[in-house]
Amino acid sequence: MAIYTNEDVIKLVEELDVRFIRLQFADILGMMKNVAVTRQQLPKILENGAAFDGSSIDGFVRIEESDMILKPDLSTFAVFPWRSQNTRVARLICDVFRTDGKPFMGDPRQVLRKVTERAKKMGYIFNVGPECEFFLFHTNENGTPTLITHDDAGYFDLGPIDLGEDARKNICLALEDMGFEIEASHHEVARGQHEIDFKYEDAMKTADNINTFKLVVKTIAHRSGLHSTFMAKPIFGISGSGMHVNMSLSDLDGENVFCDDDDRYGLSSTAYHFIAGLLKHARGMSAVTNPTVNSYKRLVPGYEAPIYIAWSARNRSPLIRIPATKGKGTRVEMRNPDPMANPYLVLSVLLAAGLDGIENRVEVPEPVNSNIFTMSLKEKQEKQIISLPKDLEEAVEDMKNDPLIKETLGEHIFNSYVEAKELEYKDYSTKIHQWEIDRYLTLY
């Protein structure tokens, strides 16, 4: 992570001939917002921050307490590589503050910072590597997205079958220009579906990277005449998009504390307690890790998406998998999050759940190393395997019943988030959907 001073950033802007700077921040749903300023304004903003109206941002504040201040995180300075030389644009990701100088706890970045600081006091650094999946669709003559996929390829297919190869290449090159280390890119299982994996970082850097990744993918796809979407399940009958989260804890010297070479699975007691915490709070976290009505259309049997709250070192049917890599690479993979989620809040609740497992020495159940999808109901009951919530309404109820989630998010975000999701589900449940028309209009 680059360490810049105000003077360093001003010098970079001048040397690179940057004309505009986007001051980016996220709302409670994880949507990136920005205030754009010219480079002439930059010295003043780096010194004092930039004022904006918080009442216009979902879940922030009421109009009578609307004044907010954006303070740039200098380590996030990056130039957008797709802009032309004479209109070069850079970005700085910002933290949100109140006018009295106190951090605004409706800012998702502040929530993640609070949890990572707690972990650091316990002697841990939270390292995260995401696996972000997305679809590429054609657009029509008006530029409106269609559901016609860009290709009919499958898992790991090559061009010319994989017509998304060029788009993925251009996305990867743009990401590298912005400082990403790309580890792999490939076609995913479903037609038109892709995955690009980038190197793990500490939690805040990873959350910033996920939102930057989404912006780059959408921008490069648009410039290629395509539409990209991170919607969890855009097409019935094929796999949806997930965002598997690979996690580990290191000590303050950088040593992986999840590793124990003498254990049968290569895991330390700390890792087992962390896993137990994730399992304990899996249902309570679901409204954050899987935040939309559509998220639960992905979490159904038959498409490899995790439904059952269990863990394994051998197969991909449970919620949590332990990848084969050992030693420094030892990690825990949480498989239910999807890329519609707010990355700052997802990493916050995952870390908080894991730390709860460690602090309270929660015991992990035995691993489930057989395919849960083929088990009978009786077998699942004998192994005490329960499911994730079936829909957003159930997930929100579980969230409201988990005190750790409320404590982690803070009262402001928790209440605003629950209200937003209850309204979303109510709106969905009162609409008439095409399935109902097809099923009932002529039958009755």
Residue numbers annotated as active site: 53, 131, 133, 188, 195, 244, 316, 333, 335
Cα torsion 60, 66, 71, 75 to 10°: value is: 20
CA-based torsion, 293, 294, 299, 302: positive or negative: positive
Phi first, then psi: give them for residue 128, nearest 5 degrees.
-140, 135
The CA-to-CA distance between both ends of the chain, in Å, stands at 63
CB of 91 closer than 8 Å to CB of 39: no
Cα–Cα distance between 57 and 64 in angstroms, integer? 14
Distances (CA, A) of 419 to 220, 347, 356, 422: 34, 21, 26, 5
CB–CB of 391/294 below 8 Å? no
CA gap 77, 14 in Å, rounded: 13
What's phi and psi for 89, nearest 5 deg? Answer: -125, 135
DSSP SS3 for 27: coil
Q: Three-class SS of residue 248? A: strand
Contacts of 389 (CB under 8 A, 6+ apart): 283, 286, 287, 296, 395, 397, 398
Q: Decide if 298 contacts 241 (C-beta within 8 A).
A: yes
